[in-house]
Amino acid sequence: MFAKRFVILFLVAAIASLYSCSSSTESKEKKSNFEIIQPVVEQAIANWSDPVISAQALHDNIANYFVVSVRKSEHYALGHIPGAINIPWTQIAKEDNLEKLPKDKHIVTYCYTGHTGQIGATVLKILGYDVSNMKWGIMAWTTNATVRVAKAFDEDTDAHDFAVSTSVPKTTTYDLADPNYVDSQDAMTILKAAADQYVSNHAPVITAQALFDNLNDGDSSNDPQIVSVRKAEDYAKGHIPGAINIPWKDIAKIDNLKKLDPQRPIVTYCYTGHTGAVACTVLNILGYNATNLKWGIMSWTKDPNVRVAKAFSESSDAHDFQTEK
């Protein structure tokens, strides 16, 4: 009787031990959301050779592209690029909307000024689509103010002469972000959840005036971390004081992410607002709290040597191509 009871107890202990080891192994093998999606995001952005396309290039070869207006539906109804379908950028990561998009044709997104179109394009790029964003948005396609809805960039109202710096601040090493979007080990499932959370809840841009006021309100505790995503040689010509430099194609690399504080707001900026939006979208998907500077460095300074790129011009960048309702 004693021997039989001993054998039973031994078997129960052995089974419990095996279960414990199995659970421990599974726990060790299970990766975090960040660990799963970071390599996917890094590869997608590092290999993105054409984040923007000009209105002229789209017009000349429009039959070769699948066009998506990411503007509000009521503004899409006022006029849109012929053949374009409408998916507002805040809904771009929804499964039913993704099913409307082809995987075998180059997609072109567009918005009002280029900013939210670039967010939509970046989300789609990370999710595996072949995509570009139309530079400057609908204001590059038409001069019709009713169709544009928003105002184009204006030197008198949108550009400032805020101070720039050439000094390089010291960087600090931080822990990486650790978002928890969904209980899954599938990269696409996590990426869709991350993208949908970002576009559904986050403001896309901050103005230069709002950023300047924040940095000069006498309270340094609420200052965002500023990241210039321009080329290193252009960063050296002048940047927003305190900004560090991480070129947009390198924004998802681990070594660069460690320079960013996941507990602090981040403001990205580029030349015109487009690649700044790429970096901003990437950071939000990876669990950071980032906002993009509207119009990029050209809204911060009027110095052409610092700007490097040219600002939007009605005479050279805007066209009167056909729209349809």
Indicate the pTM of the whole model: 0.91
Q: What percent of the chain has pLDDT over 90?
A: 91
**Would you say 163 and 249 are in contact if contact means Cβ atoms under 8 Å apart?**
no
In total, the chain counts a number of residues equal to 325
pLDDT at 209: 98
pLDDT at 28: 60
Q: 241-263 burial string, b = 16+ CB within 10 Å, else e? A: eebbbbbbbbbbbeebbebbbbe
67 bridge partner residues:
108
Residue 217: which residues within 8 A CB-CB, separation 6 or more?
none
CA-based nearest residue to 271, from 224, 230, 315: 230
Q: What does the pLDDT look like over 196-240, one tens digit per residue?
A: 999 999 999 999 999 999 999 999 999 999 999 999 999 999 999
Domain assignments of the chain as residue spans, ordered by start: 42-153, 158-307
pLDDT at 13: 53
Q: Under CATH, which architecture does the 158-307 domain have? A: 3-Layer(aba) Sandwich (3.40)
pLDDT at 20: 52
* Run means of pLDDT, 10 residues per run, the chain, 325 residues: 48 52 57 98 97 98 98 98 98 98 98 98 98 98 98 96 97 97 98 98 97 96 97 98 98 98 98 98 98 98 98 96 96
Q: What does the pLDDT look like over 204-213, one tens digit per residue?
A: 999 999 999 9
Signed CA dihedral, 259, 262, 266, 271: sign only: positive
Q: Which residue type is seen at 82?
A: P
pLDDT at 7: 45
**Would you say 303 and 297 are in contact if contact means Cβ atoms under 8 Å apart?**
no
Same fold, 42-153 and 158-307: yes
Angle at 54 between CA 49 and CA 56, to 5 degrees: 135
Say which CATH topology domain 42-153 has: Oxidized Rhodanese; domain 1 (3.40.250)
